[in-house]
Amino acid sequence: MAQLDTLDIVVLVALLLASVAYFTKGTYWAVRKDPYASSYANGSASKAGKSRDILETMDKSGKNCVVFYGSQTGTAEDYASRLAKEGSSRFGLKTMVADLEEYDYDNLDKFPDDKVAMFVLATYGEGEPTDNAVDFYEFITGQDVSFSEGGGAEEKPLSTFKYVAFGLGNNTYEHYNSMVRNVNKALEKLGGSRIGAAGEGDDGAGTMEEDFLSWKEPMWSALTQSMELEEREAVYEPAFEVTEKPDMDAEDDMVYLGEPNKNHLEGASRGPYNAHNPYIAPIVESSEIFKVENRNCLHMEIDIGGSNLTYTTGDHVAVWPTNAGKEVDRFLNVLGLASKRHMVIAVKGLDPTAKVPFPSPTTYDAAVRYHMEICAPVSRQFVSMIAQFAPNESIKAEMTKIGSEKAYFVEKVSSQHLNIAQLLEILGKGEKWTAIPFSLWIEGIHKIQPRYYSISSSSFVQKDRVSVTAIVESVEIPGAPHVVKGVTTNYLLALKQKQHGDPHPDPHGLDYAITGPRNKYDGIHVPVHIRHSNFKLPSDPSTPIIMVGPGTGVAPFRAFVQERAAQAKAGENVGKTMLFFGCRKKMEDFIYENEWEEYKEALGDKFELVVAFSRDGPQKVYVQHKLKEHAEEVNNLLQQKGFFYVCGDAANMAREVNTVLAQIIATQRGIPESKGEEIVKAMRASNQYQEDVWS
Ligand SMILES: Cc1cc2nc3c(=O)[nH]c(=O)nc-3n(C[C@H](O)[C@H](O)[C@H](O)COP(=O)(O)OP(=O)(O)OC[C@H]3O[C@@H](n4cnc5c(N)ncnc54)[C@H](O)[C@@H]3O)c2cc1C
Ligand SMILES: NC(=O)c1ccc[n+]([C@@H]2O[C@H](COP(=O)([O-])OP(=O)(O)OC[C@H]3O[C@@H](n4cnc5c(N)ncnc54)[C@H](OP(=O)(O)O)[C@@H]3O)[C@@H](O)[C@H]2O)c1
Ligand SMILES: Cc1cc2nc3c(=O)[nH]c(=O)nc-3n(C[C@H](O)[C@H](O)[C@H](O)COP(=O)(O)O)c2cc1C
Ligand SMILES: *[C@@H]1O[C@H](CO)[C@@H](O)[C@H](O)[C@H]1NC(C)=O
Ligand SMILES: *[C@@H]1O[C@H](CO)[C@@H](O)[C@H](O)[C@H]1NC(C)=O
Ligand SMILES: *[C@@H]1O[C@H](CO)[C@@H](O)[C@H](O)[C@H]1NC(C)=O
Ligand SMILES: *[C@@H]1O[C@H](CO)[C@@H](O)[C@H](O)[C@H]1NC(C)=O
C-alpha cells in the first residue's frame, strides 16, 4: 500500500476541514456570503490552507488596518468594505476586510500599536452574534480568555490594541445592539483602547445609514489624531483590475455568460445544489391567480425531481433572478458601455484580500445582467464616491451636493425610488458617465440576491414539486419618473407569459433574457435552491393549529392545509385546522378560493376558514379583527396546546396580530394584559407561536 507523505496528509486534512466547514454552515448562513467561494474560486482547499493568523496576514500583505465584520445577511459586511475603502482612499490606510470566522484571536495581545482593528457587528437572535462571529464572541467574552503571552484579563493583555466599533441592530428587539456593546465591554476590560465612540445603527428606526454616516466622521477625526494620519482628497484606488480582451470571443466556452459557477459553465450542472450552486429547475405549471387587471399574483409549480433537492412543508425556495433587459440597457448606456457590452473582460483582485464577486472571464453584459443588483435603492455614500467621475463640473457639483446633504438626497433620490442608472441618466442630461472605473461598480453595487418564497405546497403531497405563490411587485410613486418593478417577480411573470404561448414575453417592456446564458434555461427553467426553515407543522397531526396569513402570507398555509387534507384522506386523526385569511376584495384577490372548498371536503369541520375582505365594506376588516371575533375558540385551541402561526408582512400585520393575541388570552382567561403578553412570549420561546415574516 502506498505511503501517505506529510504533504498528502496536510492536503487531506485541509480538504476535510473545508468540507466540514461547508456542511456545518447550514443553509441559514448569510445569503450574501460569497456564493462563489467554494464552487468558483480554486475551492475550499486553498481557502482552508490560508493562514488564520491575522497578524501574519496583515504583515505579509503590508496592512495596518483590518476591518472585521460579523454579518448574517451582508449589511455589516457591506459597511465593513465601505470603511476599508474610505480608510484607504481618504487617509491612506492600508486596509483589509476580514470575516471574523476566518481568523484566530489568541494573539491579539501582540497587535502592534501602530495598527488598528475595526469591528462592524450585527446582532441576531436574542442579542446573539451572527453565525460567523460566534467563535470570536465566545473567545473574547469568555471567563477565562487567555492570550499567546498567557495574560488573563487582570493583566490587561490588549494594552497595545487599538480598535473602533460600530454595531448594527434594531431597537424593536429586546437586546438592542448587544453584540457591539458586549464586545466593546470585553475589549475595554482586556485593556484595549477604543478610538472614538462605539457607534450603533438602528434598522428599527430606519436610520441605519444615517447612524453610520454620523458615527464615522468623528471616528475618523479621532483616528487621524491617534494614528497621525493625514486626510487627503479622496483618491480612488480600484480594488479590481478589469482587463478588456478584444481578441477573445464572447462565445468562447471559457467565458462566463451568466453561468453562476464553473460547474454550470462546463455543461451539465452537477449537484449538490445549494446556496452556492443553483439547480436550473423546470417550471411545469404557472398561472395567474388574481382576477383583476392591474395586479398579478403568480402560482408556479417548480419541478425539483432528479435534482436531489428535498424539502419539507414550511421550507423556502430561493429564486436566482436575472435583471430586466430594460434596466441592463439603461445601465450600460449611461456608462457608455452599450457598444461594447459583449466585450470579454477578465476581473481580478488587485490584492489577495479582494474577492471577485462573480466568475471571470465574463462580459460587461453578463456581469450586469446576472450578478449585480443594479435596480436597488442608491446609497448616499456611493453617490459621493462617484461624484468625482462626473461628466463635467456642474454635474459633479450637483452630485456632490446630493451625496453630502441628507435632505437633498431624499428629495432627489430616495423619495423618487430611483436606481443608480436612472439617477445618472437624469443628472447627466444625455452625457455619458464614461470616467467611472468598472472596478468601482463591482465594489459599489451589491451582488444580486436570490429572493425567498415560502413554499406553498406540502412535501407529503408532492415531494418533487414546490409551489410558489408570489405577488408581482410594481410600485408607483406619485410624481416619480419610473415605476419600481420588482426584479424577480417580473422575471417570473415573463416566464409565465412564455409558458402560456407568448414567444417574446416582455411585461412592461422589461424584456428579460429568459432563456438564460447560452440558452441554458430554455424551455421555461429558473435557477433555484431550497432553504430549510423551522416553520413547521406540529409532528402530531391531531394537534390543533391556528394560522394567520393575509395576502401572500397564506403561501405556507396552503401547504399546511394541503398536507392535513391528505392526512385526513389517508385516515389519520387530524386536529382542528383554523385559517385566518385576508385580502382586499372577494372578487379580486381571494386566492385559492376553490381549493379551500376541496380541502374542506377532505377535512370536514376540522377545517375552518375565516376571511377578512378589507375593501369590500365601508370599513377596513383585517385578520386581527376576525381573530378577536373568534377569541373564545382561539383561546380554547391554544389551551389544548394548539400551535399558532403568522406569515406575511412583518412590519405591521405580524406585530398587530401578536398584540391582539395577547389581548385575547388576557380577556379570555381573566388576567392582566401584561400577563397575556408574557404568555405569548413564552409560546414563542417554546415554538408554539411561529412566524414566517418578511418586510
Ligand atoms: C422568508 C421569506 C419568504 C417570502 N415568501 C414570499 C412569498 O411566499 N410570496 C411572495 O410574494 N413574496 C415572498 N417573500 C418576498 C420575496 O422574497 C421578494 O422580496 C418579493 O417577491 C420581491 O422581490 P422582487 O425581486 O420582485 O422585488 P425587488 O426588486 O427586490 O424589490 C422589492 C421592493 O424593494 C423596493 N425597491 C426596489 N428597488 C427600489 C429602488 N430603486 N428604490 C426604492 N425602493 C426600491 C420596492 O418597494 C420594491 O417593491 C418572502 C421573503 C422572505 C424573506
Ligand atoms: N410593509 C409593507 O408596506 C408591505 C408589507 C408586505 C407586503 N407589501 C407589499 O404589498 C403587496 C402585496 O402584499 P400582500 O401579499 O401582503 O397583499 P396585500 O393585498 O397588500 O395585503 C393583504 C391584505 O392585508 C391587509 N392589510 C394591510 N395592512 C394590514 C395590517 N396592518 N394588518 C392586517 N392586515 C393588513 C390588506 O388590506 P388593505 O391593503 O386594504 O389595507 C389586504 O386586505 C406586495 O407588493 C408587497 O411588497 C408591503
Ligand atoms: C432574526 C433577526 C434577529 C435580530 N435580532 C436582533 C437583536 O436581538 N438585537 C438587535 O439590536 N438587532 C437584531 N436584529 C437586527 C439586525 O442586527 C440588523 O437588521 C442588521 O442590520 C443585520 O445586519 P446583517 O445584514 O449584516 O446581518 C435582528 C434581525 C433579524 C433578522
Ligand atoms: C486556480 O489554480 C490554478 C492552478 O493552481 C491557477 O493557475 C489559477 O490561477 C487559479 N485560479 C484562481 C481563480 O485562483
Ligand atoms: C443524486 O445523488 C446520488 C447519490 O448520492 C448521485 O449518484 C447522483 O449523481 C445525484 N444526482 C444529482 C443530479 O446530483
Ligand atoms: C454639463 O453638461 C450638462 C448636460 O449636457 C450641461 O447642461 C451643462 O451646461 C454642462 N456644464 C458644464 C460646466 O460644462
Ligand atoms: C425591525 O424589527 C421589527 C420587529 O421585528 C420589524 O418589524 C422591522 O421590519 C425591523 N426593521 C427592519 C428594517 O428590518
Atom 30, ligand 2: residue with shortest CA distance: 653
- 620: annotated binding-site residue? yes
**In a domain? residue 26:** yes
Average pLDDT over residues 15-20: 37
Which H or E element spans position 674? Answer: helix 673-685
Q: What is the DSSP string of 299-310?
A: EEEEE-TTTT--
Q: Which residue type is seen at 616?
A: D
**In a domain? residue 41:** no
Cβ neighbours of residue 350 closer than 8 Å, sequence gap 6 or more: 238, 239, 240, 241
- The confidence score (pLDDT) of residue 151 equals 67
Q: What is the DSSP string of 75-100?
A: HHHHHHHHHHHHHHHHH---EEEEEG
319 SS3 class: strand
283 SS3 class: strand
Asked if residue 639 has pLDDT above 90, the reply is: yes
Q: Which residue type is seen at 359?
A: P
Q: How confident is the model at residue 509 (pLDDT cuts 50, 70, 90)?
A: confident
The CATH number of the domain holding residue 410 is: 1.20.990.10
Do 663 and 571 belong to one domain? Answer: yes
Mean pLDDT estimate for the chain? 91
**In a domain? residue 183:** yes
Of 467, 450, 468, 383, whose CA–CA distance to 423 is shortest? 383
Closest ligand (CA of 206): 7
**Ligand 2 pocket, residue 454 CB under 6 Å:** no
> If you measure from the C-alpha of residue 172 to the centroid of ligand 7, how many angstroms do you get, rounded to a whole number?
7
Do 115 and 197 belong to one domain? Answer: yes
Asked if residue 308 has pLDDT above 50, the reply is: yes
Do 71 and 197 belong to one domain? Answer: yes
CB-based contact 581:609 (threshold 8 Å): yes
Phi, psi of 412 (to 5 degrees): -85, -25
**In a domain? residue 515:** yes
Of 152, 225, 224, 226, whose CA–CA distance to 190 is shortest? 152
Strands (E), 552-642: 577-583, 607-613
Average pLDDT over residues 333-338: 98
Of 384, 420, 390, whose CA–CA distance to 402 is shortest? 384
Atom 1, ligand 1: residue with shortest CA distance: 452
What are the residues facing 530 on neighbouring strands? 317
The count of structural domains within the chain is 5
Residues with a catalytic annotation lie at 454, 647, 692, 694
**In a domain? residue 276:** no
Predicted confidence (pLDDT) per residue in 93-118, tens digit? 999 999 999 999 999 999 999 999 99
Phi, psi of 652 (to 5 degrees): -115, -60
Predicted confidence (pLDDT) per residue in 407-425, tens digit? 999 999 999 999 999 999 9
Of 496, 531, 566, which residue constitutes the final position of a domain? 531
Ligand 6 atom with the shortest distance to the CA of 392: 1
- SS3 readout for 415-483: HHCCCHHHHHHHHHCCCCCCCCCHHHHHHHCCECCCEEEECCCCCCCCCCEEEEEEECCEECCCCCCCC
**In a domain? residue 232:** no
- SS3 readout for 189-218: HCCCEECCCCEEEECCCCCHHHHHHHHHHH
Asked if residue 534 has pLDDT above 50, the reply is: yes
**In a domain? residue 203:** yes
- The confidence score (pLDDT) of residue 321 equals 97
With a Cβ cut-off of 6 Å, ligand 5 is lined by 270-271, 307-308
Do 297 and 392 belong to one domain? Answer: no
Q: Match 410613486 to its residue by C-alpha cell.
A: 477
* Residue whose CB lies within 8 A of the most ligand 2 atoms, among 475, 610, 649, 694, for a mutation test: 649
Q: How confident is the model at residue 247 (pLDDT cuts 50, 70, 90)?
A: very high
- The confidence score (pLDDT) of residue 49 equals 57
Q: Which residue type is seen at 433?
A: W
Average pLDDT over residues 212-221: 95
Segments forming the whole domain that contains residue 465:
284-320+450-531
Do 622 and 526 belong to one domain? Answer: no
**In a domain? residue 42:** no
Of 146, 134, 367, 180, whose CA–CA distance to 256 is shortest? 367
Q: How confident is the model at residue 198 (pLDDT cuts 50, 70, 90)?
A: very high
**Ligand 2 pocket, residue 656 CB under 6 Å:** yes
Separation between Cα atoms, residue 181 and residue 240, nearest integer Å: 35
Of 377, 352, 512, whose CA–CA distance to 445 is shortest? 377
Separation between Cα atoms, residue 62 and residue 55, nearest integer Å: 10
Average pLDDT over residues 668-691: 96
Do 257 and 373 belong to one domain? Answer: yes
323 vs 24, which has greater pLDDT?
A: 323
Do 180 and 262 belong to one domain? Answer: no
130 vs 50, which has greater pLDDT?
A: 130
Of 499, 531, 563, which residue constitutes the final position of a domain? 531
Separation between Cα atoms, residue 101 and residue 129, nearest integer Å: 12
What are the residues facing 362 on neighbouring strands? 345
What are the residues facing 342 on neighbouring strands? none
**Ligand 2 pocket, residue 470 CB under 6 Å:** no
Asked if residue 483 has pLDDT above 60, the reply is: yes
Which runs of consecutive H residues, i.e. helices, occur in 112-261? 134-141, 178-189, 208-227
Do 670 and 631 belong to one domain? Answer: yes
529 vs 30, which has greater pLDDT?
A: 529
Predicted confidence (pLDDT) per residue in 490-507, tens digit? 999 999 999 998 877 877
CB-based contact 203:124 (threshold 8 Å): no
Average pLDDT over residues 566-570: 98
Q: Is the dihedral of CA 125, 126, 129, 131 positive or negative?
A: negative
Predicted confidence (pLDDT) per residue in 352-365, tens digit? 777 899 999 999 99
Separation between Cα atoms, residue 355 and residue 606, nearest integer Å: 55
CB-based contact 684:645 (threshold 8 Å): no
- The confidence score (pLDDT) of residue 30 equals 28
- The confidence score (pLDDT) of residue 232 equals 81
* Secondary structure tally for the chain: helices H, strands E: 23, 23
- 645: annotated binding-site residue? no
CB-based contact 111:148 (threshold 8 Å): no
Asked if residue 16 has pLDDT above 90, the reply is: no
Of 134, 136, 202, whose CA–CA distance to 168 is shortest? 202
Atom 18, ligand 1: residue with shortest CA distance: 451
Ligand 3 atom with the shortest distance to the CA of 78: 26
Average pLDDT over residues 596-617: 97
Q: How confident is the model at residue 163 (pLDDT cuts 50, 70, 90)?
A: very high
Separation between Cα atoms, residue 667 and residue 644, nearest integer Å: 18
Separation between Cα atoms, residue 283 and residue 526, nearest integer Å: 7
Of 681, 601, 669, 606, whose CA–CA distance to 644 is shortest? 681
Do 610 and 677 belong to one domain? Answer: yes
Asked if residue 597 has pLDDT above 70, the reply is: yes
Which H or E element spans position 693? Answer: strand 689-694
Q: Are strands 316-319 and 451-454 parallel, antiparallel or unpaired?
A: antiparallel
- 71: annotated binding-site residue? yes
- The confidence score (pLDDT) of residue 34 equals 34
In 140-158, which positions are buried (b, 16+ CB within 10 angstroms) versus exposed (e)? Answer: beeeebebeeebebeebbb
In 537-576, which positions are buried (b, 16+ CB within 10 angstroms) versus exposed (e)? Answer: beeebebbbbbbbbbbbbbbbbbbbbbbbbbbeeeeebbb
Closest ligand (CA of 557): 1
Separation between Cα atoms, residue 603 and residue 57, nearest integer Å: 63
Average pLDDT over residues 182-188: 97
Of 522, 530, 383, 521, whose CA–CA distance to 27 is shortest? 530
Do 344 and 362 belong to one domain? Answer: yes
Average pLDDT over residues 147-174: 90
Distance between start and end Cα atoms, the chain? 60
**Ligand 2 pocket, residue 296 CB under 6 Å:** no
Which H or E element spans position 597? Answer: helix 593-603
- The confidence score (pLDDT) of residue 351 equals 75
Do 361 and 440 belong to one domain? Answer: yes
Predicted confidence (pLDDT) per residue in 356-406, tens digit? 999 999 999 999 999 999 999 999 989 988 999 999 999 999 999 999 899
Predicted confidence (pLDDT) per residue in 680-694, tens digit? 999 999 999 999 998
Q: Match 455619458 to its residue by C-alpha cell.
A: 432
Which H or E element spans position 384? Answer: helix 380-387
695 vs 16, which has greater pLDDT?
A: 695
**Ligand 2 pocket, residue 433 CB under 6 Å:** no
> If you measure from the C-alpha of residue 441 to the centroid of ligand 4, how many angstroms do you get, rounded to a whole number?
24
**Ligand 2 pocket, residue 541 CB under 6 Å:** no
Do 185 and 151 belong to one domain? Answer: yes
Ligand 2 atom with the shortest distance to the CA of 648: 16
Of 565, 209, 229, whose CA–CA distance to 381 is shortest? 209
* Half-sphere exposure for 645 (CA within 13 Å, toward CB): 30
Q: Which residue type is seen at 228?
A: E
Cβ neighbours of residue 443 closer than 8 Å, sequence gap 6 or more: 81, 85, 238, 239, 240
Of 477, 498, 531, which residue constitutes the final position of a domain? 531
> If you measure from the C-alpha of residue 133 to the centroid of ligand 3, how many angstroms do you get, rounded to a whole number?
13
**DSSP 8-state assignment for residue 340:** G
